[in-house]
Amino acid sequence: MTTTKDCPLEDDECIAFSNWLKLNNIPHAHVANESRSSSKNAMIRGAKLKRMGQSKGVWDYEVYVPIKGMTGAVDCYELLKIEMKRRKGGVVSPEQKAWAKIYEKAGIQAKICRGADEAIEFVESIYKFNNK
């Protein structure tokens, strides 16, 4: 795990969270919206992604929490949106704040999580509530 000043990087938090979701068979997708490279190829790829509909500020994760019915089988899923930040630091952009309002108006539970542990707690709280 890569750390700076005793705090894991956001990428490492995302990997830990994704590994936990996989281990628990929870369907999810990471929205690869990051763009940190200034190489010519990265810039060309970034421009193409924008033309294809990439939207600035879209949150990092779509998590589909299984909801079990009376028989114990999965009847449906509840969509959660998670924006991952480092445990310490990490700024929520104006675009991410705007998406938070969209998720709220769409009835999607969403949370900005400071580290994998907080994201796991959020998912577990929804799972336990819906699968009593």
pLDDT digits (tens, 9 = 90+) for 68-106: 888 989 999 999 999 999 988 889 999 999 999 999 999
Q: Tens of pLDDT along 31-66?
A: 987 656 667 777 787 788 888 888 889 999 999 999
Residue range 11-22, pLDDT digits in tens: 999 999 999 999
Share the mean pLDDT of the chain.
88
Alpha carbon separation from 74 to 18, 23, 40, 66, 71 (Å, rounded): 21, 17, 46, 6, 9
Give me the pLDDT at residue 60, please: 94
At residue 5, the pLDDT reads: 61
CB 37 within 8 A of CB 81: no
pLDDT for position 103 = 98
Structure tokens at 5: 């000043």
What is the chain's percent helix, strand, coil content, to nearest 5? 40, 25, 35
State mean pLDDT over 4-17.
Answer: 85
Q: Which amino acid is at 83?
A: E
Cβ pair 63, 113 in contact under 8 A: no
Beta strands in the chain (DSSP E): 3-4, 7-8, 28-30, 61-68, 74-85, 109-114
